[in-house]
Amino acid sequence: MNSPNIKTVGIVDVEFGKDVTVVQPSNIYGCSLGDHCFIGPFVEIQKGVRIGDHCKIQSHSFVCEWVTIGNHCFIAHGVMFINDPFTNNGPAKGNQSLWKKTVIGDHVSIGSNATILPVSVCDHAVIGAGSVVTKDITEPGVYAGNPAHKIKDL
């Protein structure tokens, strides 16, 4: 009988700010979390990610490598960040030179089940639940849809 290769989840090599709360189980490694952050259960935050102060990341969200999140941001349940845009019509298969960065500004709220491709999002943006952000968001407002587009000024 074969034995599986079992990997454990955990919190390893994380730079924590003051008064950070992490609800287990979470898989958080090689990243930094600012002051007064809350990380819900079943969240994965990968190496190199930087999360600013006063951020809340709800359960079942995935923050992949090469993502930076500003201050005072809210990431709702089940938000997925993507760093591999499939530039060669398929996955990069470990070729990180094909990955792209995502930068989220300050005071950004992202609704449940949104998917954020490698983009920049300016300060003071709201992204609706279920939206797919495929292009940079350069002006404050409310964005929704697939692909996400501006539906309202703030």
**In whole angstroms, what is the distance from residue 121 CA to residue 140 CA?**
9
Please compute the mean of the pLDDT values over residues 132-146 and round it to a whole number: 98
Q: Is the pLDDT of residue 7 over 90?
A: no
- pLDDT for the residue numbered 125: 98
Domain 11-152 has what CATH class? mainly beta
Residue 89 has pLDDT above 90, yes or no: no
pLDDT given for residue 119 in this prediction: 98
> pLDDT digits over 30-75, tens only?
999 999 999 999 999 999 999 999 999 999 999 999 999 999 999 9
pTM: predicted TM-score of the whole model, two decimal places: 0.95
Laid out side by side, the sheet with 102-104 consists of 15-16, 32-33, 50-51, 67-69, 102-104, 120-121
Q: Give the pLDDT of residue 87.
A: 86
CB 16 within 8 A of CB 33: yes
What is the percent of the chain with per-residue pLDDT over 90, rounded to a whole number?
88
